[in-house]
Amino acid sequence: MEKNNDSNINFDLLKIISSETTEEFIKQINALLNSHNIYAFRIWDVRGNVCEPCSYIPSDLYATFDIYELGFKDEDFSSNINIDISYFDVTYHIHTALFFRNNNRVTHVITFEHQLPKEIEEHIKLIAPYFGRRAVELFSKERQMDLYIDYQKKVDFVKRASIIFMALELQEVISMSLSFFMEVFSADAVCVYYNDEFYGIGLEEDDLENNITINDFPISDYLKNLDDTIFIENEVVSPKFNIKNTFFIYDKVANLHFALFNIIVDIVPDKDFSSLVSSIVSIATENALNHEALTKFKIVETEIAYTADILNKFVKKNIFLEENPNVYGISYPARNAGGDFVHMLKKGNDYLFCVADVCGKGYSAAVLTVVLSVFMSKFNSSDNLTKQVADINEFLISKNFSDRFITSFFGIYREDTAELEYISCGHDPAAVLNDNKIEYLTSDYMPMGIMSEEYKSKKLKVDKNSLIFVYTDGLIEYSSLDDLLCLVKALSKNSPKDIAEDLYKELVTDTTLQRDDFTCLIMKV
């Protein structure tokens, strides 16, 4: 019987160590202890040094303790602690404690009221370091996933906000911003002051002056003097409305003061995100102000055409290598000059390429494609992609192009090793297609020109007879990504040049109604 019990315990311990999530890990431990008639224990979550009852296990006690109050002595397993801890009128005895830790990080604690059966205690002592390592691994993995999901939501927000950049007049920016904020944040009401003029959805100016206060002052006074973007909860008071939170957005460029009431978001409106929202409004308003200024100057058509001709000399519409017909790229702007960029050059047996999309359209966006063109022409090595991408980003930040950012995909295909090294900065996912599968090359970073980044490239072994496909969001204007890739796959027997040209003909049926720049690069390996 003892041997059978040992086998059962070992099997249960193996199931615990093999858990794929923290929740499963904790519940398996709880079940193991219960299966051996051990119930007088508590499992605690640890954040820093603060311990709270584990959220995955029902508890009749809510309390917070310092980890040292639970008997922590810089070891995994502590028996004969024999201490009493109190939280208000509840006293709890601790005889033994098991700390899940690895590399000085503790994620969970189990405290036992009584001495454990010797057999169980011996097993747990042996397995404690493995418990700790697995607990920290699961915690780190889930934390990284949470950060990644939050990041992707912010990237998605930036992409959706592109609708505001389409506005050419400041009144349009204001109107589209109100509608956009109302929709994206599911706000109950939204308003803005511009040059002391009120615009709102869901409430009147009189409400701000007489029915809503903050710190006992009318919120209209607070909003007009706002000089920062900030999210607050439970500080705005109203006898007329039930206001749970308020998101204030300040745009310094056009002196716009927004207020969103009772927003519902799955993106935490922290300082960085608030700054990003403010930057989007700033970009849109400055775009509109620049457009108005250009309109006042009444630039004649011939000057515009001349400017477009200069810009297009830096950014080619067709990219190819005469010595290799298996590489081809196109960039057909929606207007005389575009904000998309495609470039390819060969260094030895390495192919360096870039596909990018400057936010906005027209000449101001096209100017930044010239910057990319100059940098790409100076790519003199394929050995340090991360540094060269970082140099471009830092240059854009240093020049403070507050009304522009650039989504971009940089790649190096090494013919000798059939390896693709790449960095994607807020860009739509590129794809590597072959007969068996599609591999998506997703972004890990924000668009360039917004913030400094510590870039790390990814590497991918590319199977023979694969097709590398990189594009800008102008193609998604006409087709979903799945349908687009199906079309590329259907054309994959053709040459890269024919694939690119056929894609344009198939998707842009009327070039006079082309909605966005149409840019892609295709490489067969």
457 three-state secondary structure? coil
Count CB neighbours of 159 within 10 A. Answer: 15
> Of the candidates 102, 125, 149, which is a domain's last residue?
149
Among 258, 276, 297, residue at a domain's last position: 297
Separation of alpha carbons 413 and 1, rounded Å: 62
pLDDT at 273: 66
Q: What's the one-letter identity of residue 517?
A: D
- DSSP character string of 42-101: EEEEEETTEEEE-TTS--S----EEGGGGT--SSSEE----EEEEETTEEEEESEEEEEE
One domain for residues 122 and 266: no
Q: Give a yes or no: residue 434 inside a domain.
A: yes
Q: How many helices (H) and strands (E) does the chain have?
A: 13, 27
Q: Would you state the structure tokens that stand for residue 436, as one six-digit string?
A: 């068996």
Note whether residue 351 is domain-resident.
Answer: yes
- Is 155 among the domain residues? no
Residues 437 and 356 in one domain: yes
| Assigned token pair, 287 | 């775009």
Report yes or no: 80 and 71 within 8 Å, Cβ to Cβ. no
The total number of structural domains that make up the chain: 3
Strands ordered across the beta sheet of 236-237? 217-218, 213-214, 236-237
Other CB atoms within 10 Å distance of the CB of residue 210: 13
Radius of gyration of the chain, Cα coordinates, nearest whole angstrom: 30
Instruction: Flag whether 293 is in a domain.
Output: yes
What CATH number has the domain bearing residue 452? 3.60.40.10
Identify whether the C-beta of residue 522 lies closer than 8 Å to the C-beta of residue 489: no
- CATH number at 120 reads 3.30.450.40
User: pLDDT value at position 464?
Assistant: 92
**Burial of residue 307, with CB atoms counted within 10 A of its CB: 0-12 exposed, 13-18 middle, 19 or more buried:** middle
Q: How far apart are CA 281 and CA 279, in angstroms?
A: 5
DSSP summary character for residue 265: -
For residue 211, CA distances in Å to 96, 141, 220, 224, 236 come to 58, 47, 10, 16, 11
Helix (H, G, I), strand (E, B) or coil at 162: helix
Residues, the chain: 525
Do 339 and 396 sit in the same domain of this protein?
Answer: yes
Please, are residues 399 and 204 in contact by the beta-carbon 8 Å criterion? no
Question: Residues 517, 403: one domain?
Answer: yes
Nearest to 413 by CA among 452, 479, 467: 467
The whole-angstrom separation of Cα 375 and Cα 10 is 60
- The answer to whether residues 500 and 395 belong to one domain is yes
| Residues 321 and 462 placed together within one structural domain of the fold | yes
Q: 435 and 319: one domain?
A: yes
Sequence-distant (6+) residues with CB within 8 A of 276 are: 154, 157, 158, 450
* Burial status of residue 303 (CB atoms within 10 A of its CB: 0-12, 13-18, 19 or more): exposed
Q: What's the distance, Cα to Cα, between the start and end of the chain in Å?
A: 63
Whole-number Å distance between alpha carbons of 82 and 96: 7
Residue 181 and residue 310 in one domain: no
Give the SS3 label for residue 219: helix
State pLDDT tens for residues 473-524: 989 988 899 999 999 999 999 999 999 999 999 998 888 888 888 999 999 9
Q: Kindly report the backbone phi and psi dihedral angles of residue 91, in degrees, each rounded to the nearest multiple of 5, phi listed first.
A: -115, 135
Residue with tokens 């310094």: 252
CATH code where residue 217 lies: 3.30.450
The residue type of 272 is D
Structure confidence at residue 3 (pLDDT): 41
Last residue of a domain, one of 277, 297, 317: 297
Q: Which domain holds residue 393?
A: 304-524
Q: Are 359 and 405 in contact (CB under 8 A)?
A: yes
Q: Which long-range CB contacts under 8 A does 450-456 form with residues at least 24 apart?
A: 450/276, 450/279, 450/397, 450/405, 451/397, 452/393, 452/394, 452/397, 453/390, 453/393, 453/425, 455/386, 455/389, 455/390, 455/393, 455/423, 456/386, 456/423
d(CA 103, CA 133): 8
- Whether 383 maps to a domain, the answer reads yes
156 domain-assigned: no
Place of tokens 């904000």: 339
pLDDT along the chain (525 residues), means of 10: 50 74 87 86 88 84 86 85 86 89 85 87 81 83 67 64 71 82 83 89 92 91 89 88 89 84 69 69 76 64 58 74 91 79 89 88 72 78 85 88 84 94 95 91 92 94 95 90 93 94 91 86 95
Query: 517 and 489, same structural domain?
Result: yes
* 3-class SS of residue 114: coil
Q: Is residue 282 part of a domain?
A: yes
Identity of the amino acid at 149:
I
Residue 154 is assigned to a structural domain of this protein: no
What tokens appear for 60 in the block?
A: 């009749």
Residues 502 and 393 in one domain: yes
Neighbours of 134 (CB within 10 A): 20
Nearest Cα to Cα of residue 158 among 339, 345, 359, 326:
359
Contact (CB, 8 A) for 351 and 344: yes
For residue 1, what pLDDT is reported? 32
Looking at the fold, whether 182 and 117 belong to one and the same domain comes out as no
Predicted pLDDT of residue 207: 92
- Domain check: are 350 and 483 in the same one? yes
